[in-house]
Amino acid sequence: MGKITGFLEFQRLNEAYAAPTARLKNWREFVLRLDDEQSKQQAARCMDCGIPFCNNGCPVNNIIPDWNDLVYRQQWRKALDVLHSTNNFPEFTGRICPAPCEAACTLNINDDAVGIKSIEHAIIDKGWEEGWVTPQPPVRKTGKKVAVVGSGPAGLACAQQLARAGHAVTLFEKSDRIGGLLRYGIPDFKLEKSQIDRRISQMEAEGVEFCPSTYIGDPADAEDGLTTRTPASLKEEFDAVVMTGGAEMPRDLPVPGRELQGVYFAMDFLRQQNKAVAGDRLAGQTLAKGKHVIVIGGGDTGSDCVGTSNRHGAASVTQFELLPQPPESENKPMTWPYWPVKLRTSSSHDEGCDRDWAVTTKSLQGENGVVKKLVAARVEWVKDEATGQMKMQEVEGSEFEMKADLVLLAMGFVSPLQKVLDAFGVDRDSRGNVRANTDDYRTSVDKVFAAGDMRRGQSLVVWAIREGRQAARSVDAFLMGDSDLPR
C-alpha cells in the first residue's frame, strides 16, 4: 500500500483553515485543501493493515486503501474513479462528513488516523478542476418512470443512480431550490452551494428532471405558492415512487416562555441565512447582530448556529448541552473501531463561543413579548436502580440566569413530517419514521419505496447517500427484474 513505511515516517497533516478574523467577514468556505504533494504524503500513511476497518466504518463503504494508494502514486484520475464507484457526491462528504472511517482506521489504535477525509476532499476537487467529472447518460432508456420525493443527499443519489440505469426520473422538492438540507440547512461557510449546483447540471445532462417548489401530499397542507401533487397522482403517472425527504420535525422545548419572540428552531434560523446568501432580499442577514445568543443543543446543528451567529456579529454566543461533558480523548482500546464519544471542538467553536454541559433550561423570560432572559439549572446523571438506565436529576441550588436576546433550539429532529406520511398512507415504526427494511426499501404501499432520514431517522449525509444508492438498486430490480446497480 503506497509507501510501506509511510505511517512510521510521516505525521498526520490536517487541512489548514483561514484565520477566524478573516473568515468571519464572509460566508465563503475557509478550509484549505491539501496540495498534491501533501496529499501524496498523507496517503503514504495508509498502512498495509490486512483488514481495512475503514471500509466498514464508512457507511458508503468507500474503497479507501485503494484510492489512498493511487493518490500516493499520483494517479489522480484513477483515484477519482474508485472514489465515485461508491460515492456519488464526495465533495459533500469531503466537506461535512464527521469521518467515521477515520475512527475505524487501524492506525488510530495507537496513533493519529490517516487523514482520509482530507484526501477525499483533494481527489474530488482536483477532479472538478481537471474537468474529469462529466455527465454519464445511460446507454439505453428503459421506458420506466420513477418519481423521487425530496432532493437532499438521499434523493439526489437515488435519482442519479436510477437515471444512469436508463429510467426517466423526476425529482420533486418543496423548497424553491434543489438540495434539501444541503441547500438550506448547512451554512455556506461549510458547503458553498455551487457544489450542489454543478451536480444538478450534471444530473440534468443525465436526464433527471427537477421540480422545485412542488409539495407532495394533501393540497390542504401545502404552503401558498407551491405546486401540489398528491401521492395518488404520482402512483398513477410513475412506475415507482421513492420517498427521500428529511426528518424535518424538530424537537421542541416545552418550558414557560417558549412562545416569546426571539425563540426559534435552529433550522428556521439557518434556512433564513442560507436564503439571504442566495440572494433572497426578504431574508435578514443580521438576526443575531449585537445580541446575546444562546444555542440549546450541542451537536452539529448547534455548532452551525454558533458560526452563523458569530458572522452576524453577536454580542455573545453560549451553547448549552443537556448531557455531561465528554472526555477530551476516547479510551481507544475500548472503543476502536467504533465511533467514540469524546469532546469535539468545531471550527465554529474556535471562532468564539462559551460552552457548558449538563445544563437544563427551566424557563424563558421576556419583556413586551420578547425574550430577555434564560433560567437554567445544572443537572447530574445517575443510574436508575430499577431500570439500570441513566436518568437526569437537577442539582439542588444550582439554578442560574443568563441574558438571552436570541434563543436557538438545536436539539435534533424527532421524525419526518407526519402529514406527508399520512398522505402516502405508509406504515410507520415506533419512532414515527417510514417502515421499510434495508433489503428492498419497500414500504407497506405498493410501488412506494423509502430511504434516507425519512426511513432511518435523523442521520448523516453519508448515510443518506448510502440509502439513496441502495434504494435505487431495489427500485431498478423491482422495475426490471434484476439490477446491475451497486449497493
Residue matched to cell numbers 455531561? 324
Strand-pair partners of 378 = 359
Q: What is the pLDDT at residue 280?
A: 63
Go through 152-172 and write b for each residue having 16 or more CB atoms within 10 A of its CB, e for each that does not: bbbbbbbbbbbbbbbbbbbbb
Which of 124, 99, 125 shows the shortest CA–CA distance to 112? 99
Single-letter amino acid, residue 27? W
Q: What is the pLDDT at residue 286?
A: 80
pTM for this prediction: 0.96
At 273 the three-state DSSP class reads: helix
Grouped pLDDT means (10 residues each) for the chain, 487 residues: 87 96 94 97 93 96 96 98 98 97 96 97 98 97 98 98 98 97 96 98 98 97 96 98 96 97 97 87 74 97 97 97 95 93 95 97 97 98 89 95 98 96 98 97 98 97 98 98 93
Beta-strand runs (E) in 156-270: 168-172, 209-211, 214-216, 227-229, 240-243, 249-250, 263-265
Which of 263, 264, 249, 266 shows the shortest CA–CA distance to 415? 249
Q: What is the pLDDT at residue 170?
A: 98
Nearest-5° angle of CA 126, CA 183, CA 114? 40
Residue matched to cell numbers 425563540? 263
Residue matched to cell numbers 436508575? 384
Q: What is the pLDDT at residue 382?
A: 92
User: Considering Cα of 122, then 127, then 130, then 131, what sign does the dihedral take?
Assistant: negative
Q: Is the preceding peptide bond at 137 cis, omega within 30 degrees of 0?
A: no
Whole-Å CA distances, 234 to 41, 135, 147, 277: 51, 27, 7, 33
8 A C-beta contact, residue 449 and residue 471: yes
